[in-house]
Amino acid sequence: MKGIIVADDLTGANASGALVKKLGLSVCSLFSLQDAPEVDVLSYSTDSRGVAPQEAYRRVYDAFTRLGKGANFCNKRIDSTLRGNIGAEIDGALDALGEDYRAVVVPAYPDSGRVVVNRTMLVNGMLLTDSDAGRDPKMPVTSDDVVALVKAQTKRQVAYIPLKEIARGEDSLASLVREKAASAPILVFDAVRNEDIRTVARAVRKASLKVLTVDPGPLTMQYVHVMQVSEQREQKVLLVIGSVTQTTQRQIAYILKARRVFLVQMQVAAFWEEGRRREEIRRTVEKIRAAVDQEDVLMVTTTPLDAADVVDLHAAAAQYGKTMEEISQLLSGTLTEAAAEILETEPKLKGVYCSGGDITVALLARLKASGIEIRDEVLPLAVYGRIQGGEKPDLRIVTKGGMIGGDDAIALCLNKIAKDVD
C-alpha cells in the first residue's frame, strides 16, 4: 500500500502520520519533495496555514503532483479547529489528482473533543468561535459552520451530509454518497463519535469512488483500515482469546464492530466433566472448520461477552472437587486444545493471535513449539513473531497480555499479522 498525507504544518503531518503508523504501515515525514524514501506512507507539510490562499493552493498542488502518482490513498490533512486555507488547499489537491476524485471532508476528531453536528463544530462542548481557535491572534476562525468554512475558498460545489444519514448505516450512506458525488466534488460530513467516522469510511469505500480524505486524522486512519481489510482477503487468522479482563471484553466488542469476524464462544460450563469437555472441543473445531473457506478472521474465546456468560469458577471448583489451579488449567487447556487442533488441520490459517499469557504458553506447548522468533513490537507488551519448530513452524503469531492496549488493540495486531502474511 502506498499513501500520501499533505498537511499545512509539520505538527499535523507528523500527527496524521503517527495515526496510520498504528496500522502497521511505514511512514516518513518529509522535509523536502526531493528523493522521497521507499516507505508505505509519505507525510509532507506545505507550511501553508498562514499564507495567502493562492500560495497555499500552489504549494498543495505541487505536493500532490509530485507525490500522488500511484498512491492508493491521498489525504489533505486539515487543522482540527479548521484554521488555514481549507477550501483553497482542497482545490489544489483535487486539481492535481484529477477531476474523477472526490473530497470527503470529516473535520471531527472525537478523541480530542472536536465534534460536528448540524454543520456546527463544537470544541470540548463550546462553539468553535468561542474556543482558543476563535481567539487566535494570527488567524481566528470566524464561523462555526464547517460547510461555510469549506465553501469560502473553493471554486467547487459542496454537498453536506448530516448525522441522521450516517445513522442509517453504511449501505444507505454509500448510496447517498454516490448520489451527492455525481454533482458535488466536495462532500462534508457531520460526526460526533468514532463510530460515525468508521461508518463514513466504510460507506465511502463501498461507494467505489476515487477519494481524497480531508480531515485531522481519524477519517484517514479508518479509511486506510477499511482498505487494508479489503486487501487482506484470503489471509486467514485465528484469534484465541482466554483473558477475562474488562480490557479484553472491550477489545472484542471493538473488533466485532470494526470488521467481519466469525465468532465461536466456548461453553465454559462444559469444561469440568471430561465427556462434555471433549464434546465442546469437537463442536468448536467443527464450527471453525466449516467456516474457514468463507471467513478470513475467526475467533475462539472463553471470554464472557456479557453478564449471562460469566461462570462462577469458585462454585465450579467446589461442585466438582477441584482446586482453582486445576480449574485454571482446564480453562486454558481446553481452549488451546481446540485451537491447536484447528491450526494443525487447517493449512489456510496463516496466523494466530493469543490474548493471555497462560493461553500463549499452553498453545505453544500443544503445538510442540520450541519458541518464537521475535520480529516486532505491535504495541507495548504485544509482540509479533513466527513460531519456531513443532507442528506449525513459521506460523505468524501475536501474543498480548489481557490487560494490555486500548480498545483497538486486536485490530492493530490483526493488521500486523495480515501485513506480513505471504
- Domains delineated in the chain: 3-230 (3.40.50.10840), 234-420 (3.40.980.20)
How is residue 300 written as a grid cell?
Answer: 475462539
pTM: 0.65
Higher per-residue confidence, 364 vs 235? 364
Cell 471531527, located at residue: 108
Query: What is the rounded distance in angstroms from the CA atom of residue 73 to the CA atom of residue 358?
Result: 40
Grid coordinates standing for 81? 479547529
Q: Which residue has 496500522 as its cell numbers?
A: 23
Q: Please, which pLDDT band fits residue 258 given cuts at 50, 70 and 90? A: confident
- The predicted-structure confidence for 343-396, as pLDDT tens digits, reads as follows 999 999 999 999 988 899 999 999 999 999 999 999 898 999 999 999 999 999
Distance between CA atoms of residues 53 and 57, nearest Å: 6
Q: Which positions ≥6 away from 351 have C-beta within 8 Å?
A: 235, 236, 237, 238, 395, 396, 397, 398, 417, 418, 421
Using one digit for the tens of pLDDT, what is the confidence trace for 124-159?
A: 999 999 999 888 888 889 999 999 999 999 999 999
pLDDT at 233: 55
* Res. 421: pLDDT tops 50: no
Phi-psi region of 170 (alpha: psi -120 to 50; beta: other; left: phi over 0): alpha
